[in-house]
Amino acid sequence: MQISKLSLFNRFSAARHPDSYGRAGLAFKRLSVIVCTSILLLCPSAPARAAQDIVIAALGDSLIAGYGLPLRDAFAARLEWALRARGHNVQVLNAGVSGDTAEDGLARLDWAVGENIDAVIVEFGANDALRGYAPLRVKKALDAILTRLAQRKLPVLLAGMAAPRNLGPEYIAAFDAIYPDLARRHGAILFPFFLQGVALERDYLLADGLHPNARGVAVIVGNILPYVEKLIGAVK
């Protein structure tokens, strides 16, 4: 059985807890990116996709990578299954890395979103907000990601994130406004809140209270499905 490069990448990266970085953790994160990049370069190519398939890259953090879940239950796999069940010839590639911020996503954008990609789901911001990053810093990184994808003429679905409600009204207002502002600016499809119906719902979360379990992923997929179908319709 052949295993895709991105699958190998995520088996390695998902083993790390997304928010456990001290100095040693940050060093390990850098090392893991180097190792994962080597894996991507050295592994044999995955089988060629069918000519009619649309390939969507799901670029994000642990919410995409499937932290704490088997890869078959991660967001990309479940979304692909749901889309195929609705008659769409698609592949959804898991380009999520646990612990990534928007700046991390920008740093790996060029090799994480390869030449065979037809459309991109962009999901970042949870780790930025948990670390208290300034909203302007987050917005700048996301803006750069969307700009570079627009230069490649790739349609984008931007998944919104909400700031933790204990960070104060000014921070919340500035952070939450990032996503609709950027969607308007870049003409991206906006899914307002990636964790809609899942955040703070114990039945849909792992024991850490942050990451969706398999049932939570199913809720997310059900919510985002119409937006992804709109994304597919934007592929030329």
Contact present, 134 and 163 (Cβ < 8 Å): no
- Choosing from 20, 38, 110, 208, which is the catalytic residue? 208
Whether 62 sits among the annotated catalytic residues: the reply is yes
The DSSP letter of residue 210 is: S
Paired tokens of 128:
């930025």
Between the CA of residue 137 and those of 3, 92, 110, 113, 157, what are the distances in Å? Answer: 36, 29, 20, 22, 21
d(CA 92, CA 106) in angstroms, rounded, equals 20
d(CA 127, CA 101) in angstroms, rounded, equals 6
Whether 176 sits among the annotated catalytic residues: the reply is no
- Choosing from 61, 62, 100, 104, which is the catalytic residue? 62
d(CA 216, CA 226) in angstroms, rounded, equals 17
The DSSP letter of residue 47 is: P
Whether 17 sits among the annotated catalytic residues: the reply is no
CA angle (90 as vertex; 48, 183 as ends), nearest 5:
120
Contact present, 194 and 160 (Cβ < 8 Å): yes
Tell me which residues are annotated as active site.
62, 208, 211
